[in-house]
Amino acid sequence: MRAKSFADMKCSIAGAVEAVGDRWGFLILRDMMFGLSRYDAFQKSSGIPAQTLATRLRALEEAGLIRRQPYQDNPPRDEYLLTDRGRDMWMIVTAMREWGDRWQAHGADGAPVDLVDRDTGRPLRMALVDAQTGREVDVRRATMVAGPGADDKVAFRLGRSGHRAG
Amino acid sequence: MRAKSFADMKCSIAGAVEAVGDRWGFLILRDMMFGLSRYDAFQKSSGIPAQTLATRLRALEEAGLIRRQPYQDNPPRDEYLLTDRGRDMWMIVTAMREWGDRWQAHGADGAPVDLVDRDTGRPLRMALVDAQTGREVDVRRATMVAGPGADDKVAFRLGRSGHRAG
């Protein structure tokens, strides 16, 4: 399923693409960054077919981006959580969101989601900065809120606990 | 080829993923950000199969990320250039590179490529900043240079003219 060549490319970009695996992988990571963790929540959020979801979750687990954890014994059920490696993809997903907002790739009347400082409410965004002197905002201060283009899917994702940005 | 559902999701992240199309799309964008523009250069850089390359270039053109431009009359040959919309994906590709560097997803002994200020040589990186007060570095000041893990493919990509970061 995953081409060996991507991992062999000695390229960090190819390595990131390889780890996510395919288009659905990005949406599953997105949903997990919103705090979704369960099978039915992923399906409700993205409409991903059940078999594809099972395959992608397994691949993301193999790539070390997510881990499984039982949340119920009878019947046994697992939920899925981001590993540190997976949570660290927030910058990629955030860069995608910002691009989609700038180019109206969301098909909505405005940005579906805004990223703000959880204490001050001030808008946050990704930028290129000097590695030493850039005034970075700790991602743990960031929180996602409904934007002007939010629909019921966005409300569903935001309705979960723990929608830290990263 | 491209699932309608991704564009219909009212989600900026899904919209960005939809525009790039698949894994190869990210590598073609990467190569174009290095300044590659021709069919044989894309093949040499990534080893992408010819038919896949043709299909992906057409899809990226339809998504408005790249445009075609003739560079030779006899026989007629086109090269491919990023549109503004496509070039604006540099932040996504850069976030992927940084993730791959941090998690050694490149499979090399060190980062294959570093991003530095073209005048001062100081390292640059992506960060979350306050939208108003963040000290952003203009992407036009950024240039890519070979890192400690660079191999001959990186040298090939960097050897082209115009490897602006964005």
Tens-digit pLDDT string for chain B (166 aa): 444 578 788 899 999 999 999 999 999 999 999 999 999 999 999 999 999 999 999 999 999 999 999 999 999 999 999 999 999 999 999 999 999 999 999 999 899 999 999 999 999 999 999 999 999 999 889 999 999 999 999 999 998 644 555 5
Give residue B127's pLDDT: 95
Residue A150, φ and ψ in degrees, nearest 5:
-65, 140
* Contact (Cβ atoms closer than 8 angstroms) between residue B112 and residue B97: no
Query: pLDDT of A5-26, one tens digit each?
Result: 787 888 999 999 999 999 999 9
Pick from A150, A159, A75, A62: nearest CA to A109: A150
Residue B67 has a CB neighbour count (10 Å cut-off) of 15
Give residue B7's pLDDT: 76
Q: Using CB atoms within 10 A of its CB, is residue A1 exposed (0-12), middle (13-18) or buried (19+)?
A: exposed
Give residue A2's pLDDT: 45
Give residue B3's pLDDT: 47
- Preceding amide of A75 cis, omega within 30: yes
Query: pLDDT of A79-104, one tens digit each?
Result: 999 999 999 999 999 999 999 999 99
Give residue A7's pLDDT: 76
Q: Which of A5-14, A67-76, A114-123 has the lowest mean pLDDT?
A: A5-14
Cα first-last separation, chain B: 28
Pick from B110, B109, B115, B106: nearest CA to B139: B115
**DSSP-assigned letters across all residues of A32-73:** HHTT--SHHHHHHHH---HHHHHHHHHHHHHTTSEEEEEEET
For tokens 């050694």, the residue is: B104
pLDDT above 90 covers what percent of chain A? Answer: 84
Question: How many residues does this entry show for chain B?
Answer: 166
Contacts of A117 in chain B (CB under 8 A): 130
Q: Do B12 and A100 touch (CB under 8 A)?
A: yes
Cβ-based neighbours of A72, under 8 Å, separated by 6 or more: none
Per the prediction, chain A carries an average pLDDT of 91
Contacts of A101 in chain B (CB under 8 A): 12
Q: Which of B16, B30, B135 sits opposite A134 (nearest CB)?
A: B135
Q: Where are the beta strands (DSSP E) in chain B?
A: 66-72, 77-82, 113-117, 124-130, 142-146
Contacts of A131 in chain B (CB under 8 A): 122-125
pLDDT bucket at A4, cuts 50 / 70 / 90: low
Give residue B1's pLDDT: 40
Give the ipTM. 0.92
Give residue B2's pLDDT: 45
Query: pLDDT of A125-161, one tens digit each?
Result: 999 999 999 989 998 899 999 999 999 999 999 986 4
Residue A68, φ and ψ in degrees, nearest 5:
-95, 150
Name the token pair of A104: 């109206």
Q: Do B12 and A101 touch (CB under 8 A)?
A: yes
Q: Do A13 and B27 touch (CB under 8 A)?
A: yes
For tokens 């935001």, the residue is: A158
Q: Do A13 and B97 touch (CB under 8 A)?
A: yes
Mutate to test the interface with A, among B1, B5, B8, B12 (most CBs of A within 10 A): B12
Q: Do A91 and B46 touch (CB under 8 A)?
A: no
Spelled out in words, what is the top-level CATH class assigned to the domain A4-86? mainly alpha
Across the A:B interface, residue pairs with CB atoms under 8 Å apart total: 252
Cβ-based neighbours of B119, under 8 Å, separated by 6 or more: B141
Domain map (residue ranges) of chain A: 4-86, 90-158
**CA separation for the pair A105, B89 (Å, rounded):** 12
Q: Which of B6, B92, B125 sits opposite A95 (nearest CB)?
A: B92
Q: Which of A52-61, A90-99, A107-116 has the lowest mean pLDDT?
A: A107-116
